[in-house]
């Protein structure tokens, strides 16, 4: 007898084992990462999604808060072939449903063939297949979560001191902690501002660089952040990671589109078109830039040629679709943060001073 059910938008209901009880719904996605479950489960970009791990055993090195990327569990539920007690207890304590003993290969194959889809989960002694279907039917498309930034951003501006001379204003659209610390570790003072900060809020910080963070959902819903970028383009150097790349591109006249199932994992190969060098990268995104506007493509995904890096000498812009902070993940692209801080100090800077 099963005590957990996963309802998929294609009509199927899969049986599973409840590891943390509850009922929920979200967009069903998968990550192929084989380490870094604590970082992924606390990554705010997973808000409103149900995260399936394709790696079969999740939790084998415990749960330590030092590795968290935010202070709560962000996906609405977790699905794995086998979850250890450590992870299951953590998720249960956080009130986030979790299920295992399910054929995750079938889920991954389904999502690869049919795309990221609505999903409902019911887990616990009283759960029924009907409960899971009811949850799935009330699941909204990601683009309908128009104010998703409010769920993941800081409520008030916060400063993280790095002790150096560079001030970074970061629009927090759901920033991972290690993006902030990658900048403070290099000496920057990072002024983290709410996702809906105004141009006046940014001006009050008098930054050397405007940085747009990663974040969940559809980048076109981050209207305030796009307005801020539009306001400062050409006056301040701009940098961004993942949703940040998407927001900056849209604000400058380009556009984004939803991918079928996205990129989530820690071994996505990215080629730099200027050096022909390929690095392994960590990724978590379901949207991509399809029109780069005034920006030049500097890096592409080797698997599917999607845009991974954008640059503009004229506007002083540098962005990445992947996650150079590498938590989890290979450290191949940590140098991105040095390039960001160089924007503030090098001759490339176009600021009026």
Ligand X SMILES: NC(=O)CC[C@H](N)C(=O)O
Binding site for ligand X (CB under 6 A): 45, 214-217, 219, 242-243, 284-287
217 annotated to a ligand binding site: yes
- Asked if residue 263 has a cis previous peptide bond (ω within 30° of 0), the answer is no
Q: Where do runs of H (alpha helix) occur along the chain?
A: 37-41, 85-93, 104-114, 129-137, 149-152, 177-184, 199-205, 223-232, 243-251, 336-345
The least CB distance from residue 227 to ligand X, in Å, is 18
284 annotated to a ligand binding site: yes
Decide if 119 is catalytic.
Answer: no
Decide if 101 is catalytic.
Answer: no
Q: Are strands 189-194 and 167-172 parallel, antiparallel or unpaired?
A: parallel
The least CB distance from residue 58 to ligand X, in Å, is 20
164 annotated to a ligand binding site: no
The least CB distance from residue 320 to ligand X, in Å, is 10
CA within 13 Å, CB half, 351:
15
The least CB distance from residue 100 to ligand X, in Å, is 25
- Residue 243 or 279: the one with the smaller Cβ distance to ligand X is 243
**Which residue in 242, 263, 285, 308 is the catalytic one?**
242
- Radius of gyration, CA atoms only, the chain: 20
Q: How far, in Å, CA of 245 to CA of 265, rounded?
A: 18
Look at residue 40 and give its three-state secondary structure: helix
- Residue 44 or 120: the one with the smaller Cβ distance to ligand X is 44
- Residue 14 or 111: the one with the smaller Cβ distance to ligand X is 111
Please say whether the beta carbons of 319 and 245 come within 8 A.
yes
Look at residue 252 and give its three-state secondary structure: coil
The least CB distance from residue 307 to ligand X, in Å, is 12
Please say whether the beta carbons of 56 and 82 come within 8 A.
yes
| Structure tokens that stand for 90 in this block | 């953590």
| Structure tokens that stand for 190 in this block | 């990072």
Please say whether the beta carbons of 29 and 111 come within 8 A.
yes
Q: How far is CA 215 from CA 6, 40, 128, 153, 243, in A?
A: 26, 13, 33, 9, 5
61 annotated to a ligand binding site: no
273 annotated to a ligand binding site: no
| Structure tokens that stand for 275 in this block | 């050096």
Q: How far, in Å, CA of 129 to CA of 123, rounded?
A: 10
The phi, psi pair for 40, rounded to 5°, reads: -65, -45
| Structure tokens that stand for 117 in this block | 């889809």
246 annotated to a ligand binding site: yes
The least CB distance from residue 94 to ligand X, in Å, is 20
The least CB distance from residue 5 to ligand X, in Å, is 26
60 annotated to a ligand binding site: no
Decide if 323 is catalytic.
Answer: yes
| Structure tokens that stand for 321 in this block | 């679709």
- Residue 286 or 328: the one with the smaller Cβ distance to ligand X is 286
Please say whether the beta carbons of 208 and 167 come within 8 A.
yes
Known binding-site positions: 45, 215, 217, 243, 246, 284, 286-287
Which residues are identified as catalytic?
A: 242, 323, 325
Known binding-site positions for L-glutamine: 45, 215, 217, 243, 246, 284, 286-287
């Amino acid at each position: 007898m099963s005590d957990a059910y996963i309802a998929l938008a294609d009509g199927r209901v899969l049986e599973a084992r409840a590891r943390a009880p509850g009922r929920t719904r979200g967009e069903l996605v998968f990550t192929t990462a084989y380490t870094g479950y604590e970082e992924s489960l606390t990554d705010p970009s997973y808000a409103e999604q149900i995260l399936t791990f394709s790696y079969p055993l999740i939790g084998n090195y415990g749960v330590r808060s030092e590795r968290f990327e935010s202070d709560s569990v962000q996906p609405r539920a977790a699905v794995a072939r086998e979850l250890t007690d450590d992870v299951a207890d953590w998720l249960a304590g956080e009130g986030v449903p979790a299920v295992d003993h399910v054929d995750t290969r079938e889920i991954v194959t389904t999502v690869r063939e049919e795309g990221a889809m609505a999903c409902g989960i019911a887990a616990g002694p009283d759960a029924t297949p009907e409960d899971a279907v009811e949850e799935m039917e009330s699941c909204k498309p990601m683009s309908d979560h128009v104010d998703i930034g409010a769920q993941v951003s800081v409520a008030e501006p916060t400063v993280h001191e790095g002790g150096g001379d560079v001030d970074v204003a970061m629009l927090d659209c759901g920033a991972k902690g290690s993006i902030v610390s990658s900048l403070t570790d290099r000496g920057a003072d990072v002024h983290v501002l709410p996702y809906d900060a105004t141009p006046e809020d940014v001006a009050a910080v008098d930054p050397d660089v405007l940085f747009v963070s990663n974040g969940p959902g559809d980048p076109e819903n981050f209207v305030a952040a796009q307005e801020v970028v539009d306001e400062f383009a050409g006056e301040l150097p701009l940098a961004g990671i993942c949703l940040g790349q998407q927001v900056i591109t849209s604000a400058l006249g380009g556009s984004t589109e939803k991918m079928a199932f996205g990129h989530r994992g820690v071994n996505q190969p990215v080629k730099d078109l200027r050096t022909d060098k390929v690095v392994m990268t960590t990724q978590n995104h379901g949207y991509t830039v399809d029109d780069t506007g005034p920006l030049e493509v500097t890096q592409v995904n080797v698997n599917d040629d999607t845009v991974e890096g954008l640059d503009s000498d004229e506007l002083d812009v540098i962005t990445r679709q992947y996650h150079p902070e590498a938590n989890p993940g290979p450290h191949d692209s940590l140098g991105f943060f040095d390039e960001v801080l160089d924007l503030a100090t090098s001759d490339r800077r176009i600021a009026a001073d």
